Amino acid sequence: MRLWRSRIIATIAAVVAVALLFQTPVEVQEHRGRQTISAVDLSGLREVDTAIDSRLRAGDLRTYRTRANAFLPGRRSERLLQYYQGIPVYATDLNRQSDHGVTTSVFGTLFTGIDVDTTPGLSAEAARTVFGDLALDIVAHELAHGVTHFTAALGDTGPPNEPGAINEAFSDIIGTAVEFYVQESGTGLLRADYLLGEDADVLIRSLRDPQEIANVVTGPYPDHYSNLYRGPLDRGGVHLNAPILGHVYYLAIEGGTNRTSGQSVAGVGAANRLQIERIFFLL
């Protein structure tokens, strides 16, 4: 019963995701406007520095981290993301370094000529009506498939279907990341954690310990590549093998020990979660 319920919930979320994606024409813009910035000489640096300050005031750039240099007193690094109409632009990152308040270098990537309609396809009230009590991580998981479809072109292969498993793992990770972005961390209802589907009263997969949840094919989910499911079921194991990569995401942030390999990892810590998310999705 629990298995069928999880399938029904996932199917509903998938249908909603497709409806949201295709109820209006989907706009996909190629990266022809990619701009690589590297300014270290005084003449170009002042122009770029002034432009950054102007875009920060306008909201087109936002600072997500500042860090003092532990070895060079007075030196500071500022990391910025590009936004378009209030929405983060994928694959952007700008690093501005300063010495006692004076900018010394700027380098990174931005995009120009962005022209995408960001008008929501549903009103807030309509979204509440459609999504109802579906778990946040499940909805985010299914919507992430749309992003992967239009950006990664992973496709499918014969078993073991590793591209398909990576696709599912990306959605698991994004679903989890959205929870931590929106909700307070903890256990219980409406708390961010590394379980999928718990707020819909059905546990689908676990990123913290894949083997703590069982499935009807392999029993415990694999948590290591050596345990990769290689059979034909589940389209070559797209869902069964997804927790292998999802567990990497968990360990990289929280740290811990992989059950199968016994390898221990020191994570970057929850406060530095964005570092790992950028490694997965922006490089």
Question: CA-to-CA distance for 161 and 1, rounded, in angstroms?
Answer: 27
Q: Catalytic residue at 239? A: yes
Residue 142 annotated as catalytic? yes
In whole angstroms, what is the distance from residue 183 CA to residue 78 CA? 26
| Given 239, 247, 254, 277, the catalytic residue | 239
Q: How far apart are CA 24 and CA 21, in angstroms?
A: 7
Give the active site residue among 78, 142, 168, 254: 142
Cβ contacts of 192 within 8 Å, gap of 6 or more:
176, 179, 180, 182, 183, 184, 185, 186
With beta carbons less than 8 A apart as the criterion, state whether 269 and 232 touch. no
Angstrom distance (rounded) from CA 159 to CA 233: 8
183 neighbors 176 (Cβ within 8 angstroms):
no
Report the catalytic residues. 142, 239
